[in-house]
Amino acid sequence: MSKQTYKVCFCCQRRFKLAVSEVPPEIRALFRRYSDEHGVMTASHLRSFMVEVQRQEKTTEEEAQAIIDGQKHLSIFHRRGLNLESFFKYLFSDNNPPLLPSLGVHQDMSLPLSHYFIYTGHNSYLTGNQLSSDCSDVPIINALQRGVRVIELDIWPNASKDNVDVLHGRTLTSPVALIKCLRSIKEYAFVASEYPVVITLEDHLTPDLQAKVAEMITQTFGDILFCPSSESLKEFPSPKSLKKRIIISTKPPKEYLEAKEVQEKEEESHKGKPSGDEEAWGKEVPSLRGGTIADYKQRNGDEDDLDDEEDLDEAEKSRQNASAEYRRLIAIHAGKPKGGLEECLKVDPDKVRRLSLSELQLEKAAETHGKEIVRFTQRNILRVYPKGTRITSTNYNPLIGWMHGAQMVAFNMQGYGRSLWLMHGMFKANGGCGYVKKPDFLLKPTLSNDVFDPKVQLSVKTTLKVTVYMGEGWYYDFKQTHFDQFSPPDFYTRVGIAGVPYDTDMKKTKTKEDNWLPSWNEAFQFPLAVPELALLRIEVHEYDMSEKDDFGGQTCLPVWELRSGIRAVPLYTRKGDKYNNVKLLMGFEFI
């Protein structure tokens, strides 16, 4: 408890609702400026306020009247317009949010997938930690309902080796059947967004089980499954063209890669030689114990006898056909080329692919190859995933991925913490559809053949002024003794920016003691060089002198979609669920 002395509590005798007595002085002054001599804000006055203060230049007088009419249910309603209290209640209402919900999906969705940040999950089936939690379709469902667009499944043979399970391999996590996960994905894929869902498969299967997976996927998704017409794509299709489609991304089957390697070696060794049936056969059939069928015949002294090799050939063809069916479903090919970082980041003008790096690999690569990463992600997809030591399902700073153009910054969605709050904030943008278009400077060269370099300090483009007026709702959403046993809470607010290194900052209001309706009226300024990648961080805490400060709510908002003016900002729990009543009244202005 933050109070060490006993106090008489008058909590129950207070009115815990917004009233004229709580209106901040700045709001009172604005009301006087935009109301008549009788203290009434008519539709004409309200329109002027909306245009000049809220920066909603297109507001009509009819729309202003509709706002006034929406307050008619209040006992404080004035027939000619809004009085101070009803105006204050409107500002603090859900009808005055910090982001404009009516915009919906407003970005250009006709560009290749590589042009978008995509809401991406990591080990999407885990209910808790990475070592011993249950595997289930429930966290997959929860992620899809939140708008996550990339679901990761680790697929392994089941105990009897005749079917496929989803689990975190070589750990104590309990499995869940793949078919159950696939069916849940189909049912919930498009409840939050109509834009495509990508299933990334971490494949640990034999060819016969790969064939089984191909059958499961085909039967479960049917026509909504996107299967490219060619083996490799020259450019990724757009989210718009893939609405309500399921996309599979994984590495091509091992047998196929081995066959391709043999083919390339054969082609190299037979350069300049006339081709014949045997040579052609040798190039097309996968390896058998390290060689082609011709090698097998030679080893066994069976150069001319075709009968003995037919059974082997048929078995190998069957394996190849199974792999081919599985491979046909892969729309986004994954893989890490041999030869180090330079090879991994090479851009092929004739095909696109997906590369995966751990958070540590990305950090290390960014130190020496930052521009190359940005250039790679202009056409190809980069997936970043948490380091293996995050056994409690924590996450990392997503900005290092986003500022280098990484589309799939994969997070453990079942955890919580500041990193995940940033992820939630990013994907509030663009109508919450799970796809956010990357800034133009990450998509094309800026000067000459140069690309964006996150390490270079740029000049300030704009300054965001944030005013924290007051807060409400804790009395309703928390027990009276949640923060302190014998007195009202002592709230303060932290406000800051998460973005490129030079924009990142955090500031704090004074602590307001013993008040369920804290009023701060403090303003802060944040100079921004890259506002296109800036997220506004907001947290409320309750000061505790003897223990760790208590949590009172949080939210993150994409700066590039903030509405200017005075706005009601709803706050969320640690896990990202919206409180029923807790919110802040805040002002936003771009200078």
For tokens 């106090």, what's the residue? Answer: 7
Cα distances (Å, whole numbers) of residue 428 to 87, 148, 224: 27, 11, 26
Cα Dmax for the chain: 109
CA-to-CA distance for 451 and 442, rounded, in angstroms?
Answer: 7
> Which residues are 156's β-sheet partners?
165
CA 204 from centre of chain: 26
Residues written for the chain: 591
Cα distances (Å, whole numbers) of residue 354 to 61, 145, 389, 405, 465: 51, 25, 24, 13, 39
Q: Is 204 an active-site residue? A: no
From 45, 115, 168, 424, the catalytic residue: 168
**Identity of the residue numbered 458:** L
From 45, 78, 115, 122, the catalytic residue: 122
Q: How many CB atoms neighbour CB 74 within 10 A?
A: 14
* Nearest Cα to Cα of residue 371 among 282, 292, 257, 448: 448
CA-to-CA distance for 288 and 302, rounded, in angstroms?
Answer: 15
Element at 219 (helix H, strand E): helix 207-221
CA-to-CA distance for 201 and 330, rounded, in angstroms?
Answer: 10
Q: Is 38 an active-site residue? A: no
Q: Hey, what are 341's tokens?
A: 């970082």
- Enumerate the active-site residues: 122, 168
